[in-house]
Amino acid sequence: MNNNSHAFNTYWSGQVPFIASFAMQQLRQWVSSNDWFSGHDHTPWFEVPRETLDNLQMDYQRQWGQLGQQLLTGQPFNFDDRRFSSGNWNEPLFGSLAAFYLLNSNFLLRLLDRLPIEEEKPRQRLRYLVEQAIAANAPSNFLTSNPDALQRVVETQGASLFTGMMHLASDLQEGKMRQCDSGAFTVGVDLATTPGEVIFENEIFQLIQYYPQSETQYSRPVFIVPPSINKYYILDLRPDNSVVKHLLEQGHPVFIMSWRNFGLEHAEITWDDLIEHGVLKALQLTREISGEQRPNCVGFCIGGTLLSTALAVLAARGDHDIGSVSLLTTFLDYLDTGPISVFVDEKLVAYRERTIGGMDGPFGVFHGKDMGNTFSMLRPNDLWWNYNVDKYLKGNKPVPLDLLFWNNDSTNLPGPMYCWYLRHTYLQNDLKSGELECCGVKLDLQAVDAPAYILATHDDHIVPWRSAYASTAVLSGTKRFVLGASGHIAGVINPPAKQKRHYWTNSRVTKNPDTWFKGAEQQSGSWWNDWFVWLAKHAGERQTAVADMGNAQHPPLEPAPGRYVMQ
């Protein structure tokens, strides 16, 4: 057997092509034909020292030889990659496919790391495209090279293929890859069930006030601005993981906005409209109905950006009456926008402005399903191809998960509002500049002078935690920064009773986020416990809970969750 292994290595050391040079040639052709890289001189990008390429080639051949030995000696593969984790992938044919795929993928990424591309955007874009190609070409994605899917065909006598085609037809009709079946939950029955009333509505939002769930409540209400990209009930999923319900049980009166799912009839709505007739109107009503001038304000994701903008507008008008501000995974300084930055440039923004933004063109809407698909493709193996395999190749129904159901329940955004946001945040990062005008005043986020609780999550690929930390330098009040474990959604929706994950705290807010992290202490469990303690200090006195919803001018219109969230 050793002689066979030696012969195998000798043969392949002479037969393996000059993989490094060949890969460089293919990358060069790919870049030259891609519009994303137009206007650049690509020649210096591929001037990698010959010695570096030779070392990569030698390492590749060494690993190739080791795989050959593994095949000839019948050793099991035991892949760490979960795409190839089942025992079926230890069979020589399928195992060798997976092994050589991983070898080539790793080689290509190592080669990319050695390209002398000085500009960050082209480097990110090239890596994104290569990673997408690598993810798409995994042998697990194809029926004939996926032993688990083939076994499923045999076990079901072909029924899995028919079911998979039905799943594919349904997703094509909707225009999006569903990670949770549309019938898995019903909003108002399984989700968003905390008792409350819609007490106001206009063409932009509904305002929901919730019934108390404690005998006494704090005097200051919690006013919540959810993301406008998805439905508000991410903060009111099921009773055990509902942020709204937990706040009520802690004794906080709660008001929350429910954004409309905008259609073409709302296509002329601007960013200023969402601030003036959305957030500011809802805040005014919260003050009037609660009788408290200084509510505690909470914003999640883009909801936090909208909230902070609205508070800056109020400050410019001389109104600083805010109890506190809590920003959950929110951008104010678009310092590093993570993987999504590969899509955003002047060409894209100008195109959107021409087609849906009303600038020298028609008004339109940005469809939520497009954003949902984009976010999924930022993590192709976790949020895209694994569902392709499970749903289409194996015919399995997705596991019901409330977070993923909400993630698929996206909303449209008015074109002008979306284009303004895209240009002044992701593209130009001048929301924090103090020079922009909004609602007739200069927008100065430094004027938001209230105690602030800023939460980021460590593995967030939508709002990288260091960019969320940058908000500590934007706002003027006292700040507490907390870093939760996990990602953009699961890291935020982490109720204490489940005793899952952990978070980091450091009472000293430093200029550099990494300095903060070095001095931080890891705490077990949910960050909610820390937030509830902080929030109680800004909530006012306890008093008898008031069960009457609305007031004489704004009586209840319909029970929560309301009509808008159903659209």
- The catalytic residues are 301
93/500 Cα distance (integer angstroms)? 40
Q: What is the 3-state secondary structure (H, E, C) of 388-411?
A: HHHHHHCCCCCCCCHHHHHHHCEC
Radius of gyration of the chain (CA): 27
Classify residue 149 as exposed, middle or buried by CB count within 10 Å of its CB (0-12, 13-18, 19+). buried
127/121 Cα distance (integer angstroms)? 10
Closest of 326, 307, 198, 207 to residue 258, by C-alpha: 207
CA-based max dimension of the chain: 92
Residue 93 CB contacts under 8 Å (≥ 6 apart), including other chains: none
Classify residue 438 as exposed, middle or buried by CB count within 10 Å of its CB (0-12, 13-18, 19+). buried
Would you give the end-to-end CA distance of the chain in angstroms? 67
Here the tokens at position 485 are 């474990």
Question: Cβ atoms within 10 A of the Cβ of 15, count?
Answer: 9
| SS3 at position 214 | coil
Question: Cβ atoms within 10 A of the Cβ of 282, count?
Answer: 26
| Cis status of the peptide bond prior to 555, with omega within 30 of 0 | no
Count Cα atoms within 13 angstroms, Cβ side, for 446. 7
Provide the CA 32 distance to its chain's centre, in angstroms.
31
146 within 8 A of 395, measured Cβ to Cβ = no
423 within 8 A of 416, measured Cβ to Cβ = no
Here the tokens at position 251 are 């004794």
219/143 Cα distance (integer angstroms)? 61
247/244 Cα distance (integer angstroms)? 5
Here the tokens at position 13 are 């050391």
State how beta strands 521-524 and 502-505 pair. antiparallel
Closest of 235, 241, 300, 194 to residue 495, by C-alpha: 241
Q: For residue 3, which amino acid is it?
A: N
